């Protein structure tokens, strides 16, 4: 029997890699997309086949996490074996500007989807995209037992989603799990997150089309992994016998300065000549240090990441140089894990 999966947030970084992974595994993949006045499917266009084609395995459905009734009609129609809830307003800095919208999408959106699973009466496994931002002010190393202390409207909304997912598991015996993922990046990372902002700037500065790079706090520490490896961990969480929450991380921390050093150094430039400070990029409350302990995922899922911060910086710089030269928004110059290449 062909397995069916629904991915919310399929047009985002993780959604696109997860769709590739599931298609490579033979799944029929359904994705929730938002209606927009311009196309917003660039990350998955290479996977799309006309739905009239009998070979088609990827199907897209209009909807929005703010629309609970739509979640019910969509789930009833698709009847998926697995639901991956990746959709969110996912930018921490932006969540301070749009706290209510962030709560509605990143927090309440999850209960709408869980209720839709319950009301439509389908039997499905549910993955919730939880985050290391939940730990916030609690110092590293952080694992599944570490207390949460959110430091932004985004993290507070994700905290609600974390607990409501756990509550539905306990209250309704649902197979519903949280993947507590530390930062993961790729050539497809949104351009306003710090890693991609840096690697894109390196490519442009090297090409002579950008002069300066404006950034905020350079002292925070993050545990950066490679998104294509992390989506495999998501899938593994839904394949085990008992529903449990897992941390996915590399276990290694880098500062923003380290990432700058590696990225600019990779093309023979000194970052200090180009990086300028702009307070606009500071957050009212910052998360100083996130370094995860992925031991449980290694032990119970056999999930072990192979690409860490330095290598990631270099591969993202290479990808941005190629993308700039070829006139693309992004390009994957690296081989993806064993499940395929793009």
Which listed residue (20, 28, 64, 245) binds ligand NDP by CB under 6 A? 64
Which listed residue (256, 301, 307, 336) binds ligand GDR by CB under 6 A? 256
Which listed residue (87, 92, 231, 331) binds ligand GDR by CB under 6 A? 92
Which listed residue (4, 169, 188, 222) binds ligand GDR by CB under 6 A? 222
**Which among ligand GDR, ligand NDP, none contacts residue 318 (Cβ within 5 to 8 A by kind)?**
none
Q: Name the active-site residue from 154, 168, 226, 254.
A: 154
What is the Cα 184 distance to its own chain's centre?
Answer: 7
CA–CA gap between residue 183 and residue 81 (Å, rounded): 27
Closer CB to ligand GDR, residue 124 or residue 263? 263
The verdict on 220 binding ligand GDR (CB under 6 A) reads yes
The verdict on 194 binding ligand GDR (CB under 6 A) reads yes
Closer CB to ligand NDP, residue 181 or residue 317? 181
Q: Name the active-site residue from 20, 28, 82, 133.
A: 133
**Which among ligand NDP, ligand GDR, none contacts residue 13 (Cβ within 5 to 8 A by kind)?**
ligand NDP
Which listed residue (16, 90, 165, 262) binds ligand GDR by CB under 6 A? 90
Closer CB to ligand GDR, residue 29 or residue 86? 86
What is the maximal distance between C-alpha atoms in the chain? 59
The dihedral built from the CA positions of residue 199, 156, 96 and 151, taken in this order, carries a sign that is negative
Kindly report the three-state secondary structure assignment for every residue of the chain. CCCEEEEECCCCHHHHHHHHHHHHCCCEEEEEECCCCCCCCCCCHHHCCCCCCCCCCEEEEECCCCCHHHHHHHHHHHCCCEEEECCCCCCHHHHHHCHHHHHHHHHHHHHHHHHHHHHHCCCCEEEEEEEHHHCCCCCCCECCCCCCCCCCHHHHHHHHHHHHHHHHHHHHCCEEEEEEECCEECCCCCCCCHHHHHHHHHHHHHHCCCCCEEECCCCCEECCEEHHHHHHHHHHHCCCCCCCCEEECCCCCEEHHHHHHHHHHHCCCCHHHCEEECHHHCCCCCCCECCECCHHHHHHHCCCCCCCHHHHHHHHHHHHHHHHHHCCCCCCCCCCCCCCCC
Site for ligand NDP in 5-34 (CB under 6 A): 8-9, 11-15, 32, 34
Which listed residue (21, 72, 90, 199) binds ligand NDP by CB under 6 A? 90
CA–CA gap between residue 341 and residue 76 (Å, rounded): 33
Is 209 a catalytic site residue? no
Closer CB to ligand GDR, residue 124 or residue 183? 183
Closer CB to ligand GDR, residue 90 or residue 263? 90
Is 154 a catalytic site residue? yes
Site for ligand NDP in 157-216 (CB under 6 A): 181, 183-184, 190
272: CB partners within 8 A, 6+ apart: none
**Which among ligand GDR, ligand NDP, none contacts residue 217 (Cβ within 5 to 8 A by kind)?**
ligand GDR
**Which among ligand GDR, ligand NDP, none contacts residue 161 (Cβ within 5 to 8 A by kind)?**
none
CB contact at 8 A, 144 and 181 = no
Is 160 a catalytic site residue? no
Closer CB to ligand GDR, residue 174 or residue 213? 213
The verdict on 133 binding ligand GDR (CB under 6 A) reads yes
Range in contact with ligand GDR (rule: CB under 6 A) among 4-12, 88-96, 118-126, 240-248: 88-96
Active site residues per annotation? 131, 133, 154
Interface contacts to ligand NDP, rule CB under 6 A: 8-9, 11-15, 32, 34, 40, 64-66, 86-90, 105, 129, 131, 181, 183-184, 190
């Amino acid at each position: 029997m062909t397995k069916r999966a629904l991915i919310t947030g399929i047009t985002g970084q993780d959604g696109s890699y997860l769709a590739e992974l599931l298609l490579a595994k033979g799944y029929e993949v359904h994705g929730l997309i938002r209606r927009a006045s311009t196309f917003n499917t660039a990350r998955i266009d290479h996977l799309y086949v006309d739905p009239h084609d009998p070979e088609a395995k990827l199907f897209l459905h209009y909807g929005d996490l703010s629309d609970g009734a739509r979640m019910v009609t969509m789930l009833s129609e698709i009847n998926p074996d697995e639901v991956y809830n990746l959709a969110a307003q996912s930018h921490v800095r932006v969540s301070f500007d749009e706290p209510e919208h962030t709560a509605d999408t990143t927090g309440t959106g999850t209960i709408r989807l869980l209720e839709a699973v319950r009301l439509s009466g389908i039997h499905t496994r549910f993955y919730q995209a939880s985050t290391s931002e939940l730990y916030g002010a609690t110092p590293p190393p952080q694992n599944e037992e570490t207390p949460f202390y959110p430091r932004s409207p985004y993290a507070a909304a994700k905290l609600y989603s974390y607990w409501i997912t756990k509550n539905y598991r306990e209250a309704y015996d649902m197979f519903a799990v949280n993947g507590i993922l530390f930062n993961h990046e790729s050539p497809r990372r949104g351009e306003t997150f710090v890693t991609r902002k840096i690697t894109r700037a390196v490519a442009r500065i090297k090409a002579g089309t950008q002069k300066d790079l404006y950034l905020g706090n350079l002292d925070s520490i993050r545990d950066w992994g490679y998104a294509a490896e992390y989506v495999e961990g998501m899938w593994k969480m839904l394949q085990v016998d008992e529903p449990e929450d897992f941390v996915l991380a590399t276990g290694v921390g880098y500062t923003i300065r380290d990432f700058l050093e590696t990225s600019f150094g990779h093309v023979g430039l000194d970052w200090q000549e180009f990086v300028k400070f702009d307070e606009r990029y500071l957050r009212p409350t910052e998360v100083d240090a996130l370094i995860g302990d992925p031991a449980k995922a290694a032990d119970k899922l056999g999930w072990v990441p192979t690409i860490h911060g330095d290598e990631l910086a270099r591969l993202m710089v290479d990808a941005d140089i190629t993308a700039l030269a070829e006139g693309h928004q992004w390009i994957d110059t690296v081989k993806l894990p064993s499940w395929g290449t793009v």
